Chain A
Amino acid sequence: MHEVEPWVTWTCAGILVAMVACLALEEKLHAKKSVITGFFALVALGFGAWAHILPFGAITLPNGHEWAMPVYVPAVDWEVICIILGSSLFIDVVSRSGIFSWSAITLTRLSGGDPLRLLGYYALLTVVFSAVLNNVTAMIIVGSLTGVSLSRLDRKDLLLGFLLTEGLLTNIGGLLTLISSVPNIILGNRAGISFVKFFLVASPYAVVATLATVGMAVALFGIRSLPAEQKVVAERHVRAFDANDGIESRPFFNLSWALLGGFILTIATTTLIPGVRELGMGFVAMGFAVVAVLRYKHEVDKNYAALDWDLLFFFVFLFVVINVMEHAGVLHELGAVIGHLMGTGEIGGALLLMGSSALASSVTDNVPLAAVMGSILEAQQLPSDSHFWWATIFGTNLGGNFTPIGSASTVVAVAVMHKQGVPLSFVEFVKKAMPFALVHLVLAGAYVIVFLR
């Protein structure tokens, strides 16, 4: 790495801290994430150019040709962007077939309207949807259904317990696969963990943490099974749900199941298929997105409009900022601190890494944290099966459960609560979520130390 003046490093560190602070105060600033990171990307690039720390000049293509590419283009991790863009588009299209609402309503009917069974089924739905879709979409689907079904059952008193449990479970489900959450995508890619390996390592923890969460919810929110005489009425209420209502085309519905199965299978076997292995998961995600949008080839603009462009631009600008930080030596300095943490021992280092990641992601977005930590840990040249990677993955995902702003899905959970007339303040959320989040972290710490070290 080229020599960087300390004042340049410290100035860039100040820019990074200011950006993270602004992201933490996103609601207060009334500014979208992409606008905040976009602004700081401009500042960082401008400062980097002025301080001569950016590697301007032509790049050499694999065929030997030189190409004048803007410095901020290779700064972006396009593999991550393609995975997020492709899978978001793909999921938006197949969700219009009604497969997710069908699954959710079918389970609602199967519950017979019994609150205890309903909580169990919705917990399962939340975890599976968070794993297959993303945790925000999972929370939107299950949270919306919870509002409608509990109103139908005249059990709005249970809304808070259900929605909080679901919000917390999105971050458990978000741990299940490599593509379930953005930190997983970033950290998993940097670590070189395959999809299958990720699932095999994360799933035992997800199962135990889900059971613990549901058990705690039952105890803390007093969710009980209905007496026999009330079951008949509840059964009649949920029978009114028509699972087929949202299905506009049965062939497309069936095709969507096949596409979703194919998508998961291909993502899972990306590293095993020659050609696809080299093209990567971003190619798989974009490929399935293109195949799926053929269904709406005349009106694909609606699918494009449904994408979370704020999120996508947020990632692009964030990668640019982090790239400048890398050139400014900020990540090198942070790496030294992290290295010091890891140096406290295999157990202590992992727990410190997990705890500090969780603490940081509880008050600000976990994506910048994952991006910074990914770059730092990659520079430490850790093997892909190092438990330090897993400590960071668990910490960044689970930290979001401590506060309502810790993860996008808990933000959605609180939004659904407000829509349903169950307002929950920041402090009340922390009070109610704290026991769950602590149990999640303790379980994760024990799992990492006992089984992954």
Chain B
Amino acid sequence: MRIDDFASVFRSAVKPTYGHSPLDLHHAVLVTDLDRAGAEALADQVRRLLGRLDSNEHLSLTTLSAPADWTDVPELLGLLEQHQPQLVLTHRHLLGRHKDLRYTLGSVVDTLTQQVETPVMLLPVGVELPEADRVMVVTDHLTGDDRLVNWAVHITPDEGTLLLCHIEDQDAFDRYAEVLGRMTGVPTDEVVPRMREKLLGLPADYIHAVEERLRELDIKETVVPLVELGKPLARYAELVRQHDARLLVVNTKDPHQRAMEALSHALAVELRELPLLLL
């Protein structure tokens, strides 16, 4: 074994760790264009959904209704600047005339998720929201994403279930495997399974670290690891159904583009019946 071999052995021995931290969340704003009764009903739903946060973090909820409180996006952004909430709750097609368009989230939500640093929770409208006792974290890069997991841990109630989901793109993997198969001197039969093992091993180790840390902190949540190769969007939708997830937690911002991160936008469009926390 040579220098690179041993360096790989030692790099592999370094396991990812999870750093749990308190959540600074005591003030949330509900942004809606529903009428007063609809807004109040939605606020009640939010309190039920975020039962744990409401009881543990003493969450105060302010409702900003259109057109009573704001009429356009710049005005809304100004109000949010004044209120400085730690969480914005809203729903699709704000100020839109067609509430049932399936292929878009509406310009207000698109702007909110990209221009405001505050996490945005996208709520379904007209759906009864149960308590978020089964929270699913969805990403294609889970390892080391403490912020994502931390939010999910804080939202999940004690005795609740935390579903940590990491799907590696099967098509991309197959493409790399095919390229390796075209390279002489690379034992493809040996390398490809090892690549799969290491690729999935990292998030699995990270989830193990999350479990260990929660146990140390006496947080009684059941952690369910869901790590696999597959077609991400379709597989996430399947897993949501299989595990009866009540809330999804996803990353929204992509430092390389202005538009919403591709996977979270796709999930937000597809899973319209489910609340999504967009970080």
Contact = CB atoms under 8 A, between A and B. Distances in A.
Given A95-B1, A140-B1, A242 B15 contact: yes
Contacts of A375: none
A240 interface: yes
A96 B9 CA distance: 10
Contact of B12 (A141, A147, A245): A245
Nearest to A246: B9
B3 A245 contact: no
A134 to B, nearest CB: 13
A54 interface: no
A240 B10 CA distance: 11
B13 A101 contact: yes
Contacts of A242: 13-15
B189 to A, nearest CB: 12
Given A144-B7, A147-B7, A306 B1 contact: yes
Interface string A220-263: 00000000000000001001111101100000000000000000
Contacts, number: 58
Contacts of B6: 101, 140-141, 144-145
A419 B13 contact: no
Contact of B11 (A92, A148, A412): A148
A105 B3 contact: no
A143 interface: yes
A241 B15 CA distance: 6
Nearest to A95: B1
A22 interface: no
Interface residues of B, number: 14
Nearest to A142: B6
Given A95-B1, A140-B2, A306-B1, A246 B7 contact: no
| Of B6, B7, B16, most A-chain CB atoms within 10 Å | B6
Contacts of A147: 7
Contact of B1 (A92, A236, A415): A92
A238 to B, nearest CB: 9
A189 interface: no
Nearest to A148: B10
A149 interface: yes
Contacts of B150: none
A147 B13 CA distance: 13
| Of B3, B9, B13, B15, most A-chain CB atoms within 10 Å | B13
Contacts of A370: none
Interface string A115-145: 0000000000000000000000000110111
Nearest to B8: A144
A416 B9 CA distance: 15
Interface in B1-45: 1-3, 6-7, 9-17
A236 B11 contact: no
Interface in A96-113: 96, 98, 101, 104-105
Nearest to B19: A236
Contact of B13 (A95, A141, A243): A243
A242 B15 CA distance: 7
A306 B5 CA distance: 11
Contacts of A148: 7, 10-11, 14
Nearest to A415: B3
A200 to B, nearest CB: 32
A1 to B, nearest CB: 44
A145 B3 CA distance: 10
A52 to B, nearest CB: 45
Contact of A241 (B1, B2, B3, B14): B14
Interface string B193-221: 00000000000000000000000000000
Contacts of A306: 1
Contacts of B11: 148
A152 interface: yes
Nearest to A239: B17
A101 B10 contact: yes
A144 B3 contact: yes
A420 to B, nearest CB: 9
| Of A104, A140, A241, A243, most B-chain CB atoms within 10 Å | A140
Contacts of B14: 148, 152, 240-242
A307 to B, nearest CB: 11
18 contacts: A101-B9, A140-B2, A140-B6, A141-B6, A144-B6, A144-B7, A145-B6, A149-B10, A236-B17, A240-B16, A240-B17, A241-B10, A242-B13, A242-B14, A243-B13, A246-B9, A306-B1, A415-B3
Interface of A: 92, 95-96, 98, 101, 104-105, 140-141, 143-145, 147-149, 152, 236, 239-243, 245-246, 306, 412, 415-416, 419
Interface of B: 1-3, 6-7, 9-17
4 tightest A-B CB contacts, nearest first: A144-B6, A245-B13, A148-B10, A144-B7
